[in-house]
Amino acid sequence: MTKFTDLALGPKILKAVEEAGYETPTPIQAGAIPPALEGRDVLGIAQTGTGKTASFTLPMIHMLARGRARARMPRSLVLCPTRELAAQVAENFDTYSKNVKLTKALLIGGVSFKEQDQLIDRGVDVLIATPGRLLDHFERGKLLLTGVQVMVVDEADRMLDMGFIPDIERIFSLTPFTRQTLFFSATMAPEIERITNTFLSNPVRIEVARQATASETIAQEVVMTKTARGEKGAREKRAILRGVIEREGEKMTNGIVFCNRKVDVDIVAKSLKKYGFDAAPIHGDLDQSQRTRTLDQFRDGGLKILVASDVAARGLDIPSVSHVFNYDVPTHSEDYVHRIGRTGRAGRDGKAVMICAPSDEKLLDAIEKLIDKAIPRADAPEVQLDDKPQRGRRKKDDEGSDEGESRGRGRGRRRKDEAKAEEIVEATNENAAPAEAEAEVASEPAEARSDKDNTRGGRGRRGGRGGNDDRGGNKVVGMGDHMPSFIAKSFEERKAG
């Protein structure tokens, strides 16, 4: 059996590897390190969790042990698709190069440009970056890539999937033609074949596992839902997810829940926390400090459930994940392999559960075709759809009681408004009668006044009809405090007639 001592690595590197607790290299490490040490281009294909990161960090440290970096001209470059993966590669360099005097810089978004510029200005041996931030520094005139001796593209297929092809090609054009190039990926799409044919020179191809195969240590199952779409379908999926997690019981020490969309990551995490689960979200729209803090909590055991988008599906070294839950069926079948590869790492047992709606059955068929086996179906747990809808109008029940109650409430409000209006009119009639009219009424004989009151029935003062009486003794609503005399005269003439 091959050991690290058989790979011609320097003694200081071997000491660091031993102190890290490793003795036997993985197949991808045993196949990639020797040709990399010889200076040849390498194309490494291996599934997630097989140790690809050490396959390029160890030979790079060995080759960079001699020499010195110049200001703004790094000696090596590692490109990573996500901030988390770039930070993890930096940690690996720290672990394996602690006995070798090498400097490094990490260029990722969410971190101050000033701090990164200061590191580059002093000169670094190893530059680890995401493509966007690297080009930002280059365009600002803070970085030159003409001194790069070794260039690594990690998780190459993911880089291409995320739309980095133009950036990758531009970065390649900025590096020397004589550089050594190392490509590492979990799958080999046709687009990658084109890139490797263009930028790699007679590479050594190392493929330690059939493309897109899942580890045999991972138990897989699918839970089918009944509702396809809409808010009810989403509520059912969230309820099934909670039921599946509860069904695993103590066997689930921790787990990652994968969603296709960032908005669903937040909704699912909020739903889990609402029902007492220790969960937190992580996706590309969150602040970098929050993403780092959440990952650290998950690694250290302070967080039990990580709800993630595919930003966490590739390359993150979290070795002791017991379960992976696919809340959504991945739209790209290769992503299924990468997601469930977060569990069952380094020979450990793991379990992957996927929730599949009727509308996702074609995607499920594509996954089973890719991994060349049928995923066992599991019974859905009994759930209650008591998770309130996140959005949308209130719906009426089967009897339409909500609509009836709404109409009833409307009629009640109208009655209250009418009663209030009558009270206002009554108060106005009582307090605002013109003095002249009061004097005129007072001068009439008591018998006449009594006849008029009987005719009106008191409506002027109590019925809220204001100046509709024959004499106009009360205020006419809308006519102000004093009614013109010619209007009162017309009423008198009509009475006399």
Domain spanning 4-207: which superfamily?
P-loop containing nucleotide triphosphate hydrolases (3.40.50.300)
> Does residue 355 sit in helix, strand or coil?
strand
Domain with CATH 3.40.50.300 in the chain: 4-207, 218-378
**The token pair that represents 361 in the structure block:** 């059955």
Tell me the pLDDT of the chain (497 aa) as tens digits.
689 999 999 999 999 999 998 989 999 999 999 999 999 999 998 876 678 899 999 999 999 998 888 889 999 999 998 888 898 899 999 999 999 999 999 999 878 899 899 999 999 999 999 999 999 999 999 999 999 999 999 988 778 777 888 899 899 999 999 999 999 887 777 888 888 899 999 999 998 866 567 778 899 999 999 876 778 888 999 999 999 999 999 999 999 999 998 899 999 999 999 999 999 999 877 887 888 889 889 988 999 999 998 765 565 667 789 999 999 999 888 788 888 888 887 678 899 999 999 999 999 999 999 888 999 999 988 877 655 544 443 333 333 333 343 444 444 555 555 555 555 444 444 444 444 444 444 444 444 444 444 444 444 444 444 444 444 444 445 555 555 666 656 555 555 55
Cα dihedral 289/295/300/305 (nearest 10):
130
For residue 329, what pLDDT is reported? 95
For residue 242, what pLDDT is reported? 95
> Does residue 129 sit in helix, strand or coil?
strand
CA angle 408, 409, 410 (to 5 degrees): 90
Residue entry with tokens 């209007």: 487
Contacts (Cβ under 8 Å, ≥6 apart) of 14? 4, 5
Instruction: Compute the distance between CA of residue 252 and CA of residue 143 in angstroms, rounded to an integer.
Output: 47
| First and final C-alpha spacing in the chain | 128
Cα dihedral 150/156/161/165 (nearest 10):
30
Within its chain, how far is the Cα of 270 from the centroid?
12
Which has the closest alpha carbon to 467: 435, 442, 437, 423? 437
pTM over the 0.75 mark: no
For residue 158, what pLDDT is reported? 79
Residue entry with tokens 């997630």: 48
| Contact (CB, 8 A) for 107 and 130 | yes
CA distances from 39 to 2, 36, 64, 85, 378 (A): 21, 5, 12, 25, 50
Does domain 218-378 fall under CATH 3.90.1170.50? My reply is no
